[in-house]
Structure 1
Amino acid sequence: MSEFKLIPEYSDLSPKQFHEEIVPQQKPIVMRGFAASWPVVEAARKSSRDFVKYLNRFYNGSKATVLLGHPNINGNFFYNNDCTDLNYIQGDERLDLYLGRLLELAQKDVYPAVSVQSISPENILPGLAEENVTDFFTETLPRLWIGNQTVVSAHFDSSDNVACAIAGRRRFVLFPPDQTGNLYPGSLNFTPAGVPVSMVDLHNPDFDRYPRFQSALDSAFAVELEPGDAVFIPMLWWHHVDALEKVNALMNYWWNGAFAKNPVSPKPIDALNMALLSMQDLSPIQRSAWREVFDHYLFKKNVDPNSYIPEQCQYAIGKITPEAERKLKDDIIQRLQA
C-alpha cells in the first residue's frame, strides 16, 4: 500500500457537504465509519455466521446469479489464458444455499472463488436496505456484492459510486481517467466486468508487454476499507478491488450517471460503440476531423452552440424535451433497422 498515493479521508462529512462540495470535484475520498451503525455491519463484526444469519432474516427465496471459478484462478475473475472465454462459470442458485456454502468454503485451505455481484436487495432481501439506511442516499437503491477472497481487475463505472464494505476488508486501487491508455483496457464488448477491464495483472505486472503501466502505477491511489467504511469513486475512475477475507460483502450506490438514470436509456459506452461502428472505415485524418465536430457539439470546446442556435432547434445539444428525445431515438432505431 505504501507505494500508492493516499486518498483524503473524512469521518464527519454531512450529506450536504458531500453532494455540494465533494462530488462536483470528481476526486475520490474515503468516509470512515460511513455505515458503522448499520445492523448488518454489527452482525458481520461479530462473526461471518452472524452476518449470514442476519441476511437470511430477509431472504424471500429468490435465486441469485453465482460466479464460480477454479481455485487455480486465485480468486481473479478474468479471461482464460488465450482470451477465448472467461475463466469462470455462472449459474443461478438460492441465496441461502450459496451463503451456507460460503461459510463452508471459509473453513477450507483450498477453495474455489465464488461471488454474487450487483444484486438488488429489494428483489431478494426485501427490508435489508430499509434497516440499513444512510442520509446520503434517500432515493437511490443500493446493490449488494457477496463473495470470498476475489479479485476484480481495474475497471470503471458509468455513474458516480459510493462503495461501502459491510463484511470483511476490501482494498481499492484507483486510477484517474487520464490513465486509461496506460492501463491497457481490454475489449469493449467481451468483458468479465460488463465494462472494459485492464489487461494488466496489478499484482504481477508484465512491464515488457505493458510498459506504460508503470505510469499508471505512479498515478494510483489506494485504500483499505474496514467494515462500515466507504470510498467515493467518481465515474470513469478505474478501480481494482481485492476482497481480503474468506467472507466479504459490499453495498454500493450508483447515482447521477448512466446506470442510475435508466437501465434501458442510451449510455455513453453505447455512443462509443456506435462511433466505432460508423467510423471504422475512415482514415486517421477523417477521424480527426470528426473529433473537431464532437469537440464543438458535445464538449463545447470553443463556442457553446446553445449560445447561437435558437432553442426550438437545439434538440440534443440543449435541454432536450421528452418529445425530442423520443424522435431522436426513433430516428436511430430506423437507421439501425434499415
Structure 2
Amino acid sequence: MAIYKALPEFHGLATEQFFAEYAPRAQPLVIRGFAQQWPLVAAAKISPEGFVNYLLRFYQGKKARIFVAPPAANKRFYYNEAMTGVNYLSGEERLDLFLGRLLELLPRAEYPAISLQNSLIEELLPGLVSENPTGYFPDVMPRLWIGNEGIVSAHYDGADNIACVVAGRRRFILFPPEQTANLYPGPLNFTPAGAPTSMVDLNAPDVNRYPNFSIALANAYSVELEPGDAIFIPMLWWHHVESLEKVNALMNYWWNGSSSPHAISPSPIDSLNIALLAMRDLTPAQRNAWRQMFDHYLFKQGVDPASYIPEHQQHLLGKLEPDYIRAIKDYFIEKLKK
C-alpha cells in the first residue's frame, strides 16, 4: 500500500498572500474552507436533492457535454482495451435531465459512471457565480464538473489551477513534473479527454509493464477534500482524481497557461508538438546539443541571454510588441505550410 506525502494545508489564505508568495513557488497546497460561505456548498451539505434544486434555480435550458462509462469500466474514464477509442460514450444533454438521472442512480448497487465535465458555469447556469464568488478570481470564469463515483487517471494541465469541491468528496493524488517519465505518459495527440494521461492504472498498477512507476509513487502526494475545500495544482503537475460519493461536484479556475481562457497562442503544448516534429530524426548526440540551446535561450540555466545583447537586437528575447508577435506568427504559418 502506497504511503503518500502530505500537502501543506491552510485554513483561509489571503488572495494577496497566495498570488505573491505561494503561487510563484509552483508547489501544490490545500486551502480548507475556501468556499465554506457559498450557498452552493451549504445546499450540498444538506442533501443531494438540495444541491440539485439549488443548481436548477439558475438553469435556462442550455445543454451540456455528458460522459457515460458502463459498470464494466470500474468507474474509470479511459481508453478502451485496444486503445482504438475510449471506454465511455459522450453527447449533449439537458442539465435538468442529467441531474435527475444522477439522483435516480443513488439507490442502485450497480450503475454507470456519469459525468458532466468542463462546462463554463456562466454559460450553463448564469447568475450562479455571482451568488458564489471568490475574491481570488474576479476575471476568470470557473468551470463545473458534476458526477457520481468516477476516476480520472493521472494527467496534467497546461495552466495553474485552483479546484474547489462543492459537493461530495474527492481524493487527489499528485505527482511533480519531474516524475513524468515514471508515469509512462500516453499519446500527446490521442487522449481520453483532451489532456495527456498516464498509461498506469493507479488502483491496479502493472509493475512488470511499468516498473519505474514505483519511483513516481514514492514521490506522490495525496489529500481528500470535503465540500468547500480547494486545492492549488500548478501547471504540469500530474493529478489523479477520484470522486468518492454518488453526487460529487467541483468548480475550478484555470489561469496563467494554455488551459486558461486567456491562453497564449501557440501554447507550450503546441510548441512541444512542433519540437517533436522538427527533431524526431536527430541522433541522440544532436538532441543533446539542442538541449543545451534550449537550456540557454529558453530555460536560462546559466547567463541570461538577454543580459548582454543590446535591447534593440533582443527580438524574441526581449519585450514583444503586438505587431512583432503577429509578424512572427505569420512567418511560422508560412513556414509550416512547406
Partner of 2:175: 175
| CA distance in structure 2 between the partners assigned to 1:147 and 1:226 by the alignment | 15
Q: For each residue in 1:204-223, what CA deviation from the matched residue of structure 2 results, as whole angstroms up to 9, or x when unmatched?
A: 11111111111111101000
Compute the displacement of 1:309 (Å).
2.3
**1:1-338 to 2 correspondences below 5 Å:** 3-260=3-260, 262-263=262-263, 265-338=265-338
Q: For each residue in 1:52-108, what CA deviation from the matched residue of structure 2 results, as whole angstroms up to 9, or x when unmatched?
A: 111111112111011111111011000111111111111001111111111111221
Aligned letter for 1:80? N
| CA distance in structure 1 between the partners assigned to 2:152 and 2:332 by the alignment | 35
Q: 1:238 to 1:57 in 2, by over 3 A?
A: same
Aligned letter for 1:22? Y
| CA distance in structure 2 between the partners assigned to 1:286 and 1:224 by the alignment | 45
Compute the displacement of 1:159 (Å).
0.9
Q: Percent identity?
A: 58
Compute the displacement of 1:294 (Å).
1.2
| CA distance in structure 1 between the partners assigned to 2:78 and 2:12 by the alignment | 37
| CA distance in structure 2 between the partners assigned to 1:215 and 1:298 by the alignment | 28
Structure 1 unpaired stretches of 5+: none
| CA distance in structure 1 between the partners assigned to 2:35 and 2:185 by the alignment | 33
Q: What SS class does the counterpart of residue 259 from structure 1 fall into?
A: coil
* TM-score, structure 2 normalization: 0.97
Q: What SS class does the counterpart of residue 5 from structure 1 fall into?
A: coil
Aligned letter for 1:325? I
Compute the displacement of 1:261 (Å).
5.8
Aligned letter for 1:143? R
* TM-score, structure 1 normalization: 0.97
- 8 A contact 1:315–1:321 mirrored in 2: no
Structure 1 moving runs of 4+ over 4 Å = none
- 8 A contact 1:155–1:193 mirrored in 2: no
Aligned letter for 1:119? S
Compute the displacement of 1:2 (Å).
7.3
- State which drifts further: 254-263 or 222-231: 254-263
Compute the displacement of 1:12 (Å).
2.6
| CA distance in structure 2 between the partners assigned to 1:313 and 1:123 by the alignment | 45
- 8 A contact 2:159–2:260 mirrored in 1: yes
Aligned letter for 1:200? V
| CA distance in structure 1 between the partners assigned to 2:12 and 2:226 by the alignment | 17
- State which drifts further: 76-85 or 297-306: 297-306
- State which drifts further: 194-203 or 283-292: 283-292
Compute the displacement of 1:314 (Å).
2.2
Aligned letter for 2:281? D
- State which drifts further: 190-199 or 260-269: 260-269
| CA distance in structure 2 between the partners assigned to 1:139 and 1:160 by the alignment | 15
Q: What SS class does the counterpart of residue 285 from structure 2 fall into?
A: helix
Compute the displacement of 1:138 (Å).
1.6
Aligned letter for 2:154? A
| CA distance in structure 2 between the partners assigned to 1:186 and 1:2 by the alignment | 23
Compute the displacement of 1:21 (Å).
1.1
| CA distance in structure 2 between the partners assigned to 1:306 and 1:177 by the alignment | 27
| CA distance in structure 1 between the partners assigned to 2:263 and 2:311 by the alignment | 29
Compute the displacement of 1:135 (Å).
1.1
| CA distance in structure 2 between the partners assigned to 1:316 and 1:118 by the alignment | 34
Structure 2 unpaired stretches of 5+: none
- 8 A contact 2:258–2:264 mirrored in 1: no
